[in-house]
Amino acid sequence: MADTANTIKRLTRRTLSSQIAEEIRQAILSGAFPLGAQLNEMELAEKFGVSRGPVREALQRLIQEALLVSEPHRGVFIPELTDRDLSDIFFVREAIEGSAIRRVMMSEALPEISLSLKRLVVRMDEAARMEDWPLVADLDMEFHRQLVDAAGSSRLSRMYATVQAETKLCLLMLRGGYRGSAALVEEHRRLADIIASGDVAAAIEELPKHFGDPVRIMHKANAARERGSSSEAA
């Protein structure tokens, strides 16, 4: 037993590469790096004041999360999701979250879960009133993550985690395509209320309405960005 203990190494709390990955992740999700931008390993190493090794590890981690893509002979880029990508991500989300809703709404813990979701909606409303879009997006993700985790299935939660980073990228792309933050908050409030009601059929019917048409929303967001760029140029 003593020999075994001697072979186990103490783990560092946070590696340098994980810290760099978090900084880059936040920069991507905040919009500091534009969609489609190329990330240069050497430039990032200079920016962080480190060697290229931990930067390379950080980029690989973000590639695995689908927040970055590596293109052979070209480099590493922030992806610009296509219409097909967007539709597929929300197709997977609907399948996962629909399964979670069915289980959650048959659970004895439904009142407690519903209360937690409604509290998130209140926080989302407060963030929207302050026009803190990054916080609204974080609370949006937290709402849906809590819903999935409440199903009590570690496998379902792991499946959801695989699309969570891409969903955050979707929210970045869809910014400006919604009717407004108030509408986004109201959609979450309506879904939380239906879940609390215990009407499973109504909740399952509401879920695709809640997601809306992400492709249409993205095109609307792109048009808004183009109008903004044209105004700045003028």
- The predicted pLDDT at position 181 comes to 64
Q: How far apart are CA 25 and CA 62, in angstroms?
A: 7
Bridge partners, residue 38, by sequence: 77
Nearest to 41 by CA among 57, 30, 25: 57
| 59: pLDDT strictly greater than 60 | yes
Q: What is the mean pLDDT of residues 30-46?
A: 88
- Supply the DSSP string of 98-114, one letter for each residue: HHHHHHHTTSTTHHHHH
Interhelix angle for 133-149 vs 110-129, to 10°?
170
9-77 and 83-233 in the same fold = no
The CATH superfamily of 83-233 is GntR ligand-binding domain-like (1.20.120.530)
What are the CA-CA distances from residue 52 to residues 37, 42, 70, 98 (Å)?
Answer: 19, 6, 16, 43
CATH 1.20.1730.10 fits 9-77, yes or no: no
Q: For residue 11, what are its two tokens?
A: 């783990």
pLDDT digits (tens, 9 = 90+) for 111-139: 999 999 999 999 999 998 888 877 887 89
Q: How far apart are CA 234 and CA 129, in angstroms?
A: 30
| 204: pLDDT strictly greater than 50 | yes
Q: What is the mean pLDDT of residues 193-209?
A: 95
- 27 pLDDT band, cuts 50/70/90, is confident
Q: How far apart are CA 23 and CA 13, in angstroms?
A: 16
Q: How far apart are CA 14 and CA 33, in angstroms?
A: 24
What percent of the chain is modeled with pLDDT above 70?
A: 82
Mean of per-residue pLDDT scores for the chain: 84
| 3: pLDDT strictly greater than 60 | no
In angstroms, how far is the first alpha carbon of the chain from the final one? Answer: 73
Q: How far apart are CA 225 and CA 228, in angstroms?
A: 5
Domain ranges of the chain: 9-77, 83-233
- The predicted pLDDT at position 201 comes to 96
